[in-house]
Each structure stands twice: as C-alpha cells, then as structure tokens.
C-alpha cells in the first residue's frame, strides 16, 4: 500500500464526551491563521489565534481569520487561550476573536503579552480579557488539562512549545521552531523536550513550514557576521529592511551600527513599536542617544547613519516602498546609498520586492539581497534535519504535521516515516478535521467535522465580508460598472424621461457614446412596456438589469455591474415641500 493511502487510515465513526478532541480552525493546508483547539468534556483550550494576510485575488480584504462559530457556540467551555509566540499569524486574530467570543484569560510570554496588549489598546479592548505572563516554569491546571511549557528557538523572543496532559494521553505542540546551535537569543530546551519524549508523548503537533528544505537552517550568527561585514565596508548611508517582528535580527543590525559609530533611525510604525517593546523588555540593548529622529537625518554625515525600516516584502505603503518611489516624507535616496534586504520574499511577494529593488537601483542605490554568498537572512522554521531531530527527541506514538500548506504537511509526514513513525499513526488533516484521542490511542473521526470557512475582514469589522461582495469587487476590477438613472412618477406609473447611463471603468467614454445611447433607448422601451401595468421598484430594477446586461455583453463581451438608480418625482416634490 502506498504511503499516501496509509496516512489517515486509523478512523473512527463517533466519539464520546470523555474522549479528547483535537482540531484546527486555521493553520492546516495554509500558512497563517493558526488556531488549534483541544476539547475534553466541558473544557476547551485554544492554542494561538492568528490571521492570514490576503493575496492579490482578495480585493479590499485586510485580513483572513477562521470561522469562530464553533467557539462562539461553546464559549462557556473555553478555559484559556495559550499563545506560543508573538507573530501575527499566531496573535493577529485575538481582537476579532474577543469581539465575538468571551475569553477571560490569555496566557502568553512577556514579549508576546506586550504585543497583544498593544494590539488590544489599538482596538480599545484592553478590558475584555486578562493576560497572564508565562515562562518555561509556568503550569496551568484545570479539571481535565495540565499544561507545561518549554523554550524553543524562533525568530522572535520568548517563544514556547506546550505539553498538554489530558485524561486520554499527552499532546505536545512545538509552536514555530528551529534548532539553532548558535542562536542570538535563548536556546531551545533540548533536555526538557527529550525528557518529555522519554516520559511519553502520545500525539505530536509540529511546525511544517520548511519541510521541503533539506539539511539544517543557517544560524543567526552567520547572518550577524554578514551584516557586520556590510556595515564595516559601507562608506555611505545604509538602509536596512527586515521583518519588524524579527527582534533578534533587529538587535544584530543595531549592534553592528553602534559598533561602526552610526546613529540609528527607525522608520515604520510596526518597527517603532517592536523596537520600543524590545528595549523595554531588554531584548534590544541600546542607549537612547544611539537613536535619532527622522527629522534630524540631514544633520548627520551619510557614513554616520543607519536607517532601519519596514518594507522588506515590497508592501506598497511600507517605508521602503515609499522611499523607492520618492514619496517618503523624510528619506530620499542619494546615489551611493546602500540598501540591504535582510529577508527572503514570502511566496507571492517576489514581484513586489523586485519592483522595489529596481526602483532603488534606478535612483542610484547599491542594493544587497539575500543569497548563498551573502547570508543576509535565515529562516525561523525548522528544515528537514531539524524536524527529524524533534521527532527523535519526542518519539511520539502518533503524529500530526501542522502549520503549512498541504505539500508541506505531506513532506513532513514522509519525513516522520523516515525516523520510524508508522504511516498508520500519521494524520494529514485539514482545518475542521477532528482527531479523537481515547486511552492513549488516536483516530480520525470520519463522521463529523467542525465548520471552518474563511472569514474576510475589511477594516475592523469582525462580521466578515460575504463571498458575493468579493465577487462584485472582482467584477468591478475586471469589467467596471454601469449606473442607470431613471426618473419616474409612481403616482401615475409613468417614466418621465429617457434614462441616463453613467459608465466607470467599463468603456472609453468618447468611443462608447453610441453604445450608451442605444442602451438608454433599449432600457427606456423596456421600462415603458413594464409600466403599462402595476409594478414595483424591485421589478423595475430587475427589468433594467435583465434588459441592459445581455445587450452590453453582446456588444463588448464584458459583464459590468449594472446599478439601477430610480428617482421618484412625487417623492422629490414631497421632500421639497417638507423642507419649505
């Protein structure tokens, strides 16, 4: 039997309240919106509550969050939200979750708690929950759950994995991790991870992001060396862009700048927030006079400046993109400036990053990007050999890869078989699938799933955008709109004048005048025919759409959104009388 047919082969048709249920509302089959749940009887614990950032097809969407319907219906069972670390794909959904669901307690590390508190203050939700600070010595106990924590290494400080004891067995979640033998921050707690493996972990949930990448990831110390070399060799101004959440990288950049006698100017709201929190908590070590305000940049010589900014992913409104297109308020590229991208493009962002690189080069900047030769970036996620090491240390009986697209989950499952885990004990799940743990055995429930649709957020409205709205936005982007303005007299059921058609983004107006005039005449005739008998405003609007849409498509092979606007002359007269 092929491996892919053996995965998920242990199934069960139902479950009892005393069973332990493990499921994800987000994070499986995707990179983002990580939200994992463990339920037993009348208790639920949630591990992380993240968002996913939209791709180009989701027009006008700011965030994608999980469907929280199941948690809303069972919120009286929730005993706590446990945060592994402070990245947006693990904490970004918290404000939206708290708007619809009562969660009285959040457990997070000191750094993650500071980021969460800042986020809740921005949403004016500081009083919605209590944030408890945890460390590796912390313990949580409820009726059915006992939870401990262990240090792991990631690209943000204070990152933890969790070990959860349930009545039916032990579950471990690694969170996002890597094994870096020469880390910038704290090291992973190999001893504790190994001890829990010897103690006996029944089910391991482990990060799959880099499951396709062989070997070990590059150490942060190598990146620090590359940054130091560039900082020493650069004779002019240096501008460095990186992820604002990568605190260890930010510390390396700041340390290198200070060592070379450069003042640091931090640009970008998210970067400013993280640097301030990092300094407050001691993760970023620098004095106040090492930093300068953007308004004073012109007061310093170019070889005494280091600008640290956001925009390493080519985001249109980020600082580096605005610098590249010449619209930044304080920073203008001077020929000879050195710009460093201390990052790799996230899949889907390569075109945007290349555009920024080209614009910077066109302005005369010397641009350095990550490569095998430069080592300007390293991942915060485990490569294949690090995943094997985690599996060897924990020695789980059952395994569910998490945090990744399907191909990543599948590759991680294949890696697990290489270190001796039976394929029958491996589960490649999707959001909403339910694993059942019963007396230290794990099965996939084949008779029930949790509702897990994507919810699209526009602004701060947690109710989400309907799919129909997104389809309308796509139509607007592709085909434009046509508004049909009709004036009628509803008292005697007559149309008072020929309709007026206004087009936006549909056709070139000068060349389309004849088409629009013919469209107005067709709508006029159809409305006169309809208004020969008793009708309603809704029927008139449908008449306009049903008449105009086929005509426009027959002439242009495009389907613009047709918006009928009906003005009632009687209502207008009455309104004027009331105003007088």
330 DSSP assignment = S
Residue 351 parent element (H or E)? helix 350-362
Domain membership of residue 374 (yes or no) is no
- What CA–CA distance (Å, rounded) separates 375 from 343? 10
pLDDT value, residue 578: 45
Domain membership of residue 251 (yes or no) is yes
Does the annotation count 207 as an active-site position? yes
pLDDT value, residue 265: 96
| Same domain, yes or no: 77 and 197 | yes
Sequence-separated (6 or more) residues with CB below 8 Å from residue 105: 79, 80, 81, 129, 130, 132
Q: Cα-atom radius of gyration of the chain, to the nearest Å?
A: 29
Domain membership of residue 328 (yes or no) is yes
Q: Kindly report the CATH number assigned to the domain that includes residue 119.
A: 3.60.15.10
| Other residues' Cβ atoms within 10 Å of the Cβ of residue 130 | 11
| Same domain, yes or no: 154 and 23 | yes
CA-wise closest residue to 136 among 86, 188, 181: 188
Measured CA distances, 106 to 36, 132, 136 (Å): 14, 6, 16
- What CA–CA distance (Å, rounded) separates 25 from 35? 5
Domain count, the chain: 3
| Same domain, yes or no: 103 and 184 | yes
Domain membership of residue 177 (yes or no) is yes
Q: Kindly report the CATH number assigned to the domain that includes residue 348.
A: 3.40.50.10710
Mean pLDDT of successive 10-residue stretches along the chain, which has 580 residues: 75 93 96 96 97 73 88 96 96 94 96 96 93 96 97 95 97 96 90 93 97 94 92 94 92 95 94 94 94 94 94 88 93 94 82 93 94 86 97 97 96 97 97 97 94 78 58 72 88 85 78 83 89 85 89 86 84 45
| Same domain, yes or no: 209 and 89 | yes
CA dihedral 276→177→160→143, nearest 10 degrees, is: 140
| Same domain, yes or no: 38 and 160 | yes
| Same domain, yes or no: 421 and 489 | no
Given 368, 390, 413, which residue is the final one in a domain? 368
| Same domain, yes or no: 225 and 323 | yes
Structure tokens, 7: 């995965």
Sequence-separated (6 or more) residues with CB below 8 Å from residue 286: 254, 255, 258, 264, 279
The one catalytic residue among 381, 403, 412, 433: 381
- What CA–CA distance (Å, rounded) separates 520 from 292? 62
Q: For 328-385, list the strands marked E by DSSP.
A: 338-341, 366-368
| Same domain, yes or no: 525 and 439 | no
HSE value, Cβ hemisphere, 13 Å, CA-based, for 197: 17
Given 368, 403, 418, which residue is the final one in a domain? 368
Domain membership of residue 462 (yes or no) is no
Does the annotation count 381 as an active-site position? yes
pLDDT value, residue 397: 97
CA-wise closest residue to 84 among 179, 152, 171: 152
Structure tokens, 324: 């590249």
- What CA–CA distance (Å, rounded) separates 406 from 29? 5
Domain span at residue 249 reads 220-368
Hunting for tokens 């010449």 — which residue is that?
326
The one catalytic residue among 19, 67, 207, 433: 207
| Same domain, yes or no: 190 and 255 | no
| Same domain, yes or no: 253 and 118 | no
- What CA–CA distance (Å, rounded) separates 191 from 537? 73
Given 345, 368, 391, which residue is the final one in a domain? 368
Q: Kindly report the CATH number assigned to the domain that includes residue 499.
A: 3.10.20.580
Sequence-separated (6 or more) residues with CB below 8 Å from residue 440: 168, 169, 202, 397
Q: Helices 384-394 and 406-418: crossing angle, nearest 10°? A: 60
Domain membership of residue 373 (yes or no) is no
Domain membership of residue 386 (yes or no) is yes
| Same domain, yes or no: 330 and 357 | yes
| Same domain, yes or no: 196 and 325 | no
Domain membership of residue 142 (yes or no) is yes
Sequence-separated (6 or more) residues with CB below 8 Å from residue 452: 24, 25, 26, 66, 67, 430, 431, 432
- What CA–CA distance (Å, rounded) separates 226 from 377? 9
User: What phi and psi, each to the nearest 5 degrees, are found at residue 564?
Assistant: -80, 135
């Amino acid at each position: 039997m092929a491996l892919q047919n053996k995965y998920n082969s242990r199934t069960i048709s139902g479950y009892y309240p005393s069973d332990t249920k493990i499921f994800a509302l987000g994070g499986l089959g995707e990179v983002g919106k990580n939200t994992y749940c463990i339920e037993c009887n009348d208790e639920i614990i949630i591990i992380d509550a993240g968002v996913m950032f939209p791709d180009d097809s989701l027009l006008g969407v700011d965030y994608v969050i999980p469907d929280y319907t199941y948690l809303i219906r069972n919120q009286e069972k929730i005993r706590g939200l446990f945060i592994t670390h402070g990245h947006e794909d693990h904490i970004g959904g918290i404000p939206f979750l708290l708007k619809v669901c009562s969660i009285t307690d959040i457990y997070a590390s000191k750094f993650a708690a500071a980021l969460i508190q800042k986020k809740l203050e921005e949403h004016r939700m500081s009083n919605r929950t209590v944030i408890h600070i945890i460390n590796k010595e912390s313990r949580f106990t409820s009726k059915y759950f006992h939870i401990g924590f262990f240090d792991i290494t990631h690209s943000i400080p204070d990152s933890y994995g969790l070990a959860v004891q349930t009545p039916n067995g032990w579950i471990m979640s690694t969170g996002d991790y890597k094994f870096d033998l020469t880390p910038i921050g704290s090291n992973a707690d190999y001893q504790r991870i190994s001890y829990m493996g010897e103690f006996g972990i029944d089910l391991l949930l482990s990060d799959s992001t880099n499951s396709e990448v062989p070997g070990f990831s590059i150490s942060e110390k190598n990146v620090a060396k590359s940054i130091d070399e560039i900082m020493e060799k650069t004779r002019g101004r240096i501008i460095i862009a990186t992820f604002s959440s990568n605190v260890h990288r930010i510390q390396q950049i700041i340390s290198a700048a200070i060592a070379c006698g450069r003042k640091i100017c931090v640009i970008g709201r998210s970067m400013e927030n993280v640097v301030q929190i990092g300094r407050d908590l001691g993760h970023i070590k620098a004095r106040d006079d090492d930093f300068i305000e953007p308004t004073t940049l012109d007061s310093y010589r170019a070889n005494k400046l280091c600008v640290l900014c956001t925009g390493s992913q080519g985001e249109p409104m980020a600082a580096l993109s605005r610098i590249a297109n010449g619209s930044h308020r304080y920073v203008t590229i001077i020929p000879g400036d050195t710009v460093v991208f201390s990052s790799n493009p996230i899949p889907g962002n390569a075109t945007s990053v290349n555009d920024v690189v080209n614009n910077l080069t066109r302005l005369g900047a010397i641009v350095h990007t990550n490569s095998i030769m430069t080592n300007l970036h390293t991942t915060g996620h485990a490569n294949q050999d690090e995943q094997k090491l985690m599996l060897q240390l924990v020695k789980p009986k059952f395994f569910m890869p998490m945090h990744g697209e399907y191909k990543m989950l599948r590759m991680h499952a294949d890696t697990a078989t290489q270190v001796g885990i039976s394929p029958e004990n491996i589960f490649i799940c999707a959001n909403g699938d339910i694993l059942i743990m019963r007396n230290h055995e794990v099965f996939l429930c084949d008779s029930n799933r949790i509702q897990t649709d994507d919810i699209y957020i526009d602004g701060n409205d947690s109710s989400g955008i309907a799919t129909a709205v997104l389809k309308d936005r796509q139509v607007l982007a592709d085909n434009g709109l046509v508004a049909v303005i009709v004036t009628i007299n509803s008292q005697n059921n007559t149309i008072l004048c020929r309709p007026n058609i206004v087009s936006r983004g549909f056709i070139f107006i000068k060349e389309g005048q004849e088409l629009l005039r013919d469209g107005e005449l067709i709508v006029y005739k159809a409305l006169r025919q309809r208004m020969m008998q008793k009708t309603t405003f809704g029927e008139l609007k449908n008449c306009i759409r049903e008449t105009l849409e086929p005509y426009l498509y027959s002439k242009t092979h495009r389907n613009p959104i047709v918006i009928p606007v009906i003005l009632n002359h009687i209502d207008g007269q009455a309104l004027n009388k009331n105003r007088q």
